[in-house]
Chain A
Amino acid sequence: MASEYEFTAKDIVEKPEILMSGHRACAGCGPATALRLVLKAVRGPTILTHATGCMEVVSTIYPYTAWKIPWIHTAFENVAANASGIEAALKVLRRKGRIKDEHVDVIAFAGDGGTFDIGIQDLSGAVERGHDFMYVLYDNEAYMNTGIQRSGGTPHGAATTTSPAGSVIPGKPEYKKPISDIMVAHGMPYVATASPYYWKDLITKARKGIEVDGPAFLHVIAPCPRGWRYDTSKTIEISRLVVENCIFPLWEAIDGEYQLSEPSEAIALKPETKKPVQEYLRMQGRFRHLFTPKFEKVIDEIQWITDKRWQRLLKKCGIN
């Protein structure tokens, strides 16, 4: 599936903003960057719906809004059901001639808490029913809005306020839920992962997700300086490293067929360029406790799960 959407950096800069300036996201916010990039892929009239979370909170406070186009937030765990209702209404109202006779795209935004955890039921249901919408998961790997609590998207070993680095337990004991693979297993037409550093790849995938008939799922890694404990200037660098060490490889699954995207494919072709996880972990305060003799074996575990999942992905992509 190739998108005919060709663009240059200049096109992107000139394209009108949908998430306007003046919102209250933190300096260096990965999710704000991720959403802004996703919205550069919008092709026409679009309705947005948003799960409760950081980006919902920072983009509105009555009577202000940062959204240039129609937007609705209702609750935390139901954004895919909200998208279902919007899409169904668009179909029937257009059919009955009660709205303009034109296609309108529907995009749902949710964080990792709203997707991996509390919202997985309605996401699964909406995808099973085949509604035509794109679900964008901006994954900052914890409940950042409520003060950095662990989610199903938090990686192994990360310290959060509900998986603290204690003297006995070194951060989150569990591994990150492979949410995008779960979505591929639904048999949906388009699933992709993306990172803000690879902006062109991200926008192209967002565009494909919008263009596809039926549900699309875009998983964007979205570093959070507050929750990951790094300097606000490092968001984009971290977005690159997480791909280069294969913790968050970039791929697409079109009708269930996995395919590595260019940055990750390059690593697959030259395995010696695959970076170890240490540099990435060392940059972030949430992993600081792992760099002690007592817990350094957790770094090995992170390397082990990264390699295991990378190998599994390569197999799915037909690369051995």
Chain B
Amino acid sequence: MEIVKQKVLALNGDEAVAYAVKQSDVDVVSAYPITPQTIIVERFSEYVANGEVDTEFICVESEHSALSACLTASAMGARVFTATASAGLALMHEILYVTSGCRAPVVMAVVNRALSAPINIHCDHSDSMVERDCSWIQLYAENSQEVYDSIIQAFRIAENPEISLPVMVGLDGFSLSHTLENVQVLPDDVVRKFVGTRQFPFIKGHEGKMVPFKLDPENPLSMGPLDLYDYYFEHKRQQEEAMQKAPKVIQQVHEEYAQMSGRHYGNGLIERYNLEDAEIAAVCLGSTAGTVKTVVDELRAEGVKAGLLRIRTFRPLPVEEIIKALENVKAVAVMDRSLSFGGYGGAVFHEIRHILYDAHIHPYVVNYIYGLGGRDTPRNLIHKIYQDLQEILQTRRVEKPVKFIGLRE
């Protein structure tokens, strides 16, 4: 396939989301404004007001209702989108589980922002990390270009009948959401063709015949019934099976998209940056990867064998890919932009150390909690992390596996 000719627009991350949604033939958008997500709903409202989209926009009275309306619109067979951040995602918590449990392929942009208290509007990953177990696919973008590309891909992933699970695309509050970037955008018709029309799994209906899984007067279904100890467990297992099928679909969609756009984000699951011969490596997700890549380049110029593993798909966790990516690395620093209070390090650290236990490779794995509440993470902090890793390799000792970085001690 030939790479499609694209135009370049100056968009911030939120605008990139709105533009992608505008092009994706979305039927229903239901959302509630919250900083730093507001630009998404504002831009989309303009598209609606100017007749640029054929979408029902429900401007609801809370995030709880936003997702509740998305869920039933999706159950009706509509393509559905919402966006939120921080407290808004926390308010949706109950319905996040209901949405995935009803197998509704809702797509949501999460503009990552710290959770209260104290109240803070800036970026960290506390809001979506706490939702990592709710059976939503989670993609984290590094820049606004990837935000745009990932939103379009998300519809194809979510609506794949083998998957039928909701997808959230994380973009860092302010550092992406409010920062202008040159974003290449595909022509409208190309995006529309790529996302296609909504596909449905078929299930056995009330009258015994196979029917599309949606609310349809001609093929009545009951959705969301009481489901106790005799079937609930199997239904949860089915959700997990769909999750396990997702990496393949995410990769396929990513590859198909890459062929027409010319843009790859690793293999869609993880991105390896100078990892092939790396002795020391950082692991992170989100916009911080941009800074880390610069530092890796600087270290490489000095002859230091440094690398980066960026996790793009955090749920489902690409276990085999992560093992392969890290199998030759001797010391790994996992960077967490959220905190599991009272636990042993952050959520990403938990996963990486846990994976490597069974992998017959045992690099040193340390954890850095960074950037909470939007605290800046400049290059010198990243350099410090790589210096620590070098020191660990020299001394063969880890003094403190979990450290906070970039704050007053």
> Interface on A for B, CB 8 Å cutoff?
45-47, 49, 56-57, 60-65, 67-75, 77-78, 80-86, 88-93, 95-96, 98-100, 104, 121-122, 124-126, 128-129
| B54 in contact with A96 (CB, 8 Å) | yes
Closest chain B residue to A47 by CB distance? B215
| A86 in contact with B226 (CB, 8 Å) | no
| B60 in contact with A84 (CB, 8 Å) | yes
Interface string of B149-160 (1 = CB under 8 A from A): 000000000000
Which of B60, B76, B230 contacts A89 (CB under 8 A)?
Answer: B76
| B69 in contact with A85 (CB, 8 Å) | yes
Min CB–CB distance B372 → chain A (angstroms): 31
Name 6 extra pairs, CB < 8 A, besides A81-B69, A93-B78: A47-B215, A47-B217, A65-B225, A72-B223, A84-B58, A89-B28
Min CB–CB distance B217 → chain A (angstroms): 4
| B69 in contact with A99 (CB, 8 Å) | no
User: Which residues of B (216-256) have their CB < 8 Å from a CB of A?
Assistant: 216-218, 220-228, 230-232, 235
Q: Contacts A69-B217, A75-B94 given: A124-B61 contact, CB under 8 Å?
A: yes
Task: List, in ascending order, chain B residues with CB within 8 A of A46's CB.
Answer: 217
Which of A65, A75, A78, A129 contacts B222 (CB under 8 A)?
Answer: A65
Task: List, in ascending order, chain A residues with CB within 8 A of B223's CB.
Answer: 71-73
Q: How far is the CA of A122 from the CA of B74 in the complex (A)?
A: 18
26 of the cross-chain contacts (CB-CB < 8 Å) are A45-B217, A46-B217, A47-B215, A60-B225, A61-B227, A61-B228, A62-B227, A68-B220, A70-B215, A72-B223, A73-B224, A74-B102, A78-B64, A81-B66, A81-B72, A84-B60, A88-B28, A88-B73, A98-B77, A99-B77, A100-B217, A104-B217, A125-B61, A125-B62, A125-B65, A128-B61
Q: How far is the CA of A77 from the CA of B98 in the complex (A)?
A: 13
Interface string of B83-105 (1 = CB under 8 A from A): 00000000000110010001000
Task: List, in ascending order, chain A residues with CB within 8 A of B61's CB.
Answer: 121-122, 124-125, 128
Min CB–CB distance B294 → chain A (angstroms): 44
How many residues from B make CB contacts under 8 Å with A? Answer: 49
Q: Is residue B27 within 8 Å, beta carbon to beta carbon, of the partner chain?
A: yes
Q: Is residue B179 within 8 Å, beta carbon to beta carbon, of the partner chain?
A: no
Which of A67, A85, A124 contacts B58 (CB under 8 A)?
Answer: A85
Which of B70, B80, B218, B225 contacts A100 (CB under 8 A)?
Answer: B218
| A82 in contact with B71 (CB, 8 Å) | yes
Min CB–CB distance A91 → chain B (angstroms): 6
| A62 in contact with B225 (CB, 8 Å) | yes
Top 3 A-B pairs, shortest CB-CB distance: A125-B61, A60-B225, A85-B69
| B226 in contact with A89 (CB, 8 Å) | no
Task: List, in ascending order, chain A residues with CB within 8 A of B55's CB.
Answer: 92
Closest chain A residue to B76 by CB distance? A89
Q: How far is the CA of A122 from the CA of B72 in the complex (A)?
A: 14
Task: List, in ascending order, chain B residues with CB within 8 A of A47's CB.
Answer: 76, 215, 217
Closest chain B residue to A58 by CB distance? B226
Of A57, A84, A95, A99, most buried by chain B (CB within 10 Å of CB) is A84
Q: Is residue B42 within 8 Å, beta carbon to beta carbon, of the partner chain?
A: no
Task: List, in ascending order, chain A residues with CB within 8 A of B78's CB.
Answer: 88-89, 92-93
Which of B64, B73, B216 contacts A70 (CB under 8 A)?
Answer: B216
Task: List, in ascending order, chain A residues with CB within 8 A of B232's CB.
Answer: 62
Task: List, in ascending order, chain A residues with CB within 8 A of B65's CB.
Answer: 78, 80-81, 84, 121-122, 125-126
Closest chain A residue to B228 by CB distance? A61
Task: List, in ascending order, chain A residues with CB within 8 A of B222's CB.
Answer: 60, 65, 67, 70-72
Min CB–CB distance A99 → chain B (angstroms): 7
| B231 in contact with A77 (CB, 8 Å) | no
Q: Contacts A88-B56, A91-B56 given: A69-B62 contact, CB under 8 Å?
A: no
Task: List, in ascending order, chain A residues with CB within 8 A of B231's CB.
Answer: 62-63
Q: Is residue B45 within 8 Å, beta carbon to beta carbon, of the partner chain?
A: no
Closest chain B residue to A61 by CB distance? B226
Closest chain B residue to A67 by CB distance? B222
Closest chain B residue to A82 by CB distance? B72
Min CB–CB distance A209 → chain B (angstroms): 19
Q: How far is the CA of A60 from the CA of B227 in the complex (A)?
A: 8
Task: List, in ascending order, chain B residues with CB within 8 A of A67's CB.
Answer: 220, 222
| A122 in contact with B70 (CB, 8 Å) | no
Task: List, in ascending order, chain B residues with CB within 8 A of A83's CB.
Answer: 72
Task: List, in ascending order, chain A residues with CB within 8 A of B27's CB.
Answer: 89, 92-93, 96, 98
Q: How far is the CA of A90 from the CA of B58 in the complex (A)?
A: 13
| A56 in contact with B226 (CB, 8 Å) | yes
Task: List, in ascending order, chain A residues with CB within 8 A of B5's CB.
Answer: none
Q: Is residue B30 within 8 Å, beta carbon to beta carbon, of the partner chain?
A: yes
Q: Is residue B68 within 8 Å, beta carbon to beta carbon, of the partner chain?
A: yes
Q: Is residue B384 within 8 Å, beta carbon to beta carbon, of the partner chain?
A: no
Of A92, A96, A100, A124, most buried by chain B (CB within 10 Å of CB) is A92
Interface string of B173-217 (1 = CB under 8 A from A): 000000000000000000000000100000000100000000111
